[in-house]
Amino acid sequence: MSVARNPGTGAAAAAPAAPPAGAATEDYFLASGLRGTLEEYLSAGEIRDVHRACRFGAEAHTGQTRRSGEPYIHHPIEVARTMAGLRLDKVTLMAGLLHDVLEDTHITQQKLRAEFGDEVARVVEGVSKLQGLDFVSVEVEQAENFQKMMLAVAMDLRVILVKIADRLHNMRTLEHMPPHRQKAIARETLEIYAPLALRLGMGDVRLEFEDLAFRTLHPRRCAALAKGVRERAGNRLELMEKAVARIRFHLHESGVPCQVQGRRKHLYSIYRKMKEKHLPFSEVLDIFAVRLVVDSVEDCYRALGLMHNFYKPVPGRFKDYIAIPKANGYQSLHTILFGPQGALMETQIRTREMDEVAQTGVAAYALYKINDSRSFAGAVKTQEWLQSLFNFQRGAGDSLEFMEHLKTDLIPDDIYVFTPNGEIMALPKKATALDFAFAVHTDLGLSASGVRINRRLGMLSAVLQSGQTVEIIPSENARPNPGWLSFAVTAKARSAIRHYLKDIRDDEAVKLGKHLLNEALRNYQTSLGEIGKDWFDRILGALDIAGRDALFREIGLGNQIPQLIAARLADSDRRAERPVEIARSAVPRGARGLVVAYAKCCYPIPGDTVIGIMNPGKGLVVHRDGCPNAATAARKRKDSVIPLQWTGDGAPDDEYSAAIRAVTHHQRGVLASIAAKVAGMGSNIENISFEEHGTESAAITFVISVKSLAQLEKIMRGIVSAVEGTRVNRIGFREETGASH
C-alpha cells in the first residue's frame, strides 16, 4: 500500500488503494475521501460541479497512466484532495482536477472555457504556463523562469495554490522517478516551493516539502537523524507526556480551557538548526515542542503567564507574533521553557483561528470567506506583495536581479521598527534606513536626505535593528543617486530608485555622473582635471565607452560604479607599465579590467558572499562578507565598500586559496592520510602549520587550492571519512567559521 500524507497536518495517512482497471472514476472519487472532505464545507451544488470536472478530466486523460502504473486521473484527484484539506473554493478545486488537460490532452482552451467558464479556464491556463518551467537550469534561465512564475501568480493567487498542491503529490510519489530527476525535483522544491509556501503562510505544506526533499537529497543524514530522534524520544517521551498532562490540568484549573499538543520537531528543522549553528545532534536540546490552542487572544497571554509559572523561561527567547504579526499573517506567542529534567521545550500559544491560518496560510481565506466573509490580514498582505511584483518588474534591471530580491522577500526574517508616531513597520533583516523611507512612502524615500535613529542622527545606509524608532529627514533638494543601490535591500526601494534613475534626462545624468566621479576621485587626492587625456582615453577604450560624456551618463544612470572608475583613473602610473589584469570571477558591473586581489585574511572563494574594498595601489580587494578586516576598512572609508557577486564566467582552471583546520588524535600517518585525500580530490596543499592541543590531539591548518565552495565542502567531508575521530572546520576570520563535518 502506498502512503500519502494527510493534507494540512503532515501526518502519515494511508492513501486509498488504486481501483482495478476499468473501475469508474466515481469509485475512486469516493474511495479517495475527496467527496467526504468536500461535504464538510461545500454545498451540494458546488460538489456536483467539482464532480463534473473530475469526470471531464478522467475522460480527457483516458488511456494515460503515471509512472506508478495507475490511471492518470488519480493524480489530479490527489491534488484536489490536498486542496480540499486546505478548504479551498470550488473554482480552485475544479482547476486542480483539470490542471493537466491543456498540457497533456486534446482539450483546447476554448473547449475548457465553454464547459466550465472563464474563471476556471483562466486558472488552468495559468497553471499550464508553469508546467514547463525548470528551476534547476542555468542561472539566467532559472531566473527568467522564476520571474514568469511569480508574474503568473500575481495575476491570480489560485494558480500557485494549484501548483503547490500538484508539487506536493509529486513529492509524495517521487520514488517512481529516475534517481537524477528525484534529486533535481527535490532541490527545486527545497529552494523554490518550500520558501514560497512559507511566504504564503502555508506552514504545514512547507514543513512537508522540507522533510520530503531532505529525505531525497540526504537519505543517510535523514535516516541517522531520525534514529537519533527516536532514541532520544524513547528516553523523554514519558516525561513529555507527563508535562503535557500537567499543563492541560493546570490550565483548565486556572480557567483557561485549551487544546495541548505535544510533538517532535520536524527532521529538516533540526538539521537546519544543526547546520546554521554548527551543532552536533547531542547539543540540540529543543527537539520537542508544545502547542497550546485557546479560545481568545486574552487567553493566549493568560496561558503564557501560567506557562512561565510552571516552567522557567529561557531569557531572550520570547517572541510576540500576536502583537506584531509576520508578513504572511502568522500570529502566535513563542517561548522556550526549561521543561522536565532541564530539557528545552519550544512552546507556541495561539487561538483556533490563528492555528488555522498558521497551517494553511492564505488558503484559510477561502474558508473564512465562505463562513462569514471575515477579512484575513495575511491574504490582504499577500495580495499587496504579489501586486508589488508588477511595480518591481518595471524597475528591475534584469531577471537575475528580479530573482535575487524576490528570494529576499520569500524568506522573510523580519525586523520590527517604529515610526515617530509609534506605528510598527516590518522590514526584512539587514534593511537600512533608506528601505524604511520607501516602505513608509515612495515620495519620502525619493526625498530622503538623512535619518534620526532613536533620536540620534544617522546615515541612510545604517542597518536597522528591531525596536529602533526611525525618523526620515526629507529635503526638497535631495534626489536618489546610483550609490543608493549598493545598500537598498527591499524590492520596493530598489525598484523606485532604478525607475527614478532611468527617467533622469541625459544632461542631468551627465551632470550627476561627473559630480559622482569627481567625488570618488577626491579619495585619491586628485580630480578629473588632473587625469591625463591619453590615460583617460585608454580607460574609455577598456570600458568600450565612446567619450567622457557617455561615461558620465553611464555613471549617472547607475550602469557604472564611480568608485571603480576612480580607482582606475587614479592608478595611471602603475597601470601604464604593464597590461591590465582581468579578474574573471568576482567582477561587479563596471569593473572589467580592474586589478582584483583576493584577501588572505579570509580566503574568499566562489560560493561565498563577498564584498570589495577599494584600496589605492592594490585595486579591488575581495573579502568574505563578515571579515573583521573588511569591516575595519569600511569604518575608516565607507565609500570604499563595493557590493560584489560571483559572475560565474571564470575560466575552468581558476583556483582559489582556502584555509581549513583539522583537529585529530595523535596517530601515525595522519598527515599523510589527509594529504593523500586532499590530492585525490583534485586539490593542492599550499601551506601546512601545526598546533598542539594537549597531549592527545593536534590541530593542523592547511591552505589548499579549490575552485568553489562546493569542492571545499566535499574535501572537508572526505577528510572526516578518511581519518577517524577528526573534526574539520573552515577558517579565515579571527575566529573559526563554517560548518563542522
Q: Which of 46, 104, 115, 141 is catalytic?
A: 104
The H or E element containing residue 83 is helix 74-85
For residue 485, the Cα-to-chain-centroid distance in whole angstroms is: 21
Strand residue runs (E) in 198-356: 258-264, 288-294, 319-320, 333-338, 344-351
d(CA 604, CA 686): 16
Contact (Cβ atoms closer than 8 angstroms) between residue 564 and residue 590? yes
Q: What is the chain's length? A: 741
d(CA 560, CA 572): 19
In terms of DSSP H, where are the helices of 472-571? 491-503, 506-522, 533-543, 548-556, 562-570
CB atoms closer than 10 angstroms to residue 27: 12
Contact (Cβ atoms closer than 8 angstroms) between residue 160 and residue 361? no
d(CA 460, CA 433): 5
Q: Which of 103, 191, 625, 713 is catalytic?
A: 103
Three-state helix/strand/coil letters over 465-478? CCCCEEEEEECCCC
Q: Which residues contact 343 (CB under 8 A, 6 or more apart)?
A: 236, 239, 285, 286, 288
Give the 3-state secondary structure percentages of the chain, helix then strand then coil, rounded to 5: 50, 15, 30
Contact (Cβ atoms closer than 8 angstroms) between residue 474 and residue 445? no
532 to each of 77, 571, 611, how far by Cα in Å? 74, 12, 30
Contact (Cβ atoms closer than 8 angstroms) between residue 353 and residue 127? no
Residue that the C-alpha cell 537550469 belongs to = 137
Phi and psi at residue 226, to the nearest 5°: -60, -40
Residue that the C-alpha cell 500538484 belongs to = 166
d(CA 358, CA 356): 5
d(CA 170, CA 72): 12
d(CA 354, CA 349): 9
- Decide: helix, strand or coil at residue 95: helix
Looking only at the bridges linking them, the beta strands covering 656-665 and 727-731 are antiparallel
Q: For residues 449, 455, 457 and 459, what is the CA-based torsion angle, rounded to 10 degrees?
A: -60
104 as an active site residue: the answer is yes
For CA atoms 541, 547, 548, 552, the dihedral sign is: negative
Contact (Cβ atoms closer than 8 angstroms) between residue 727 and residue 663? yes
Catalytic center residues: 103-104
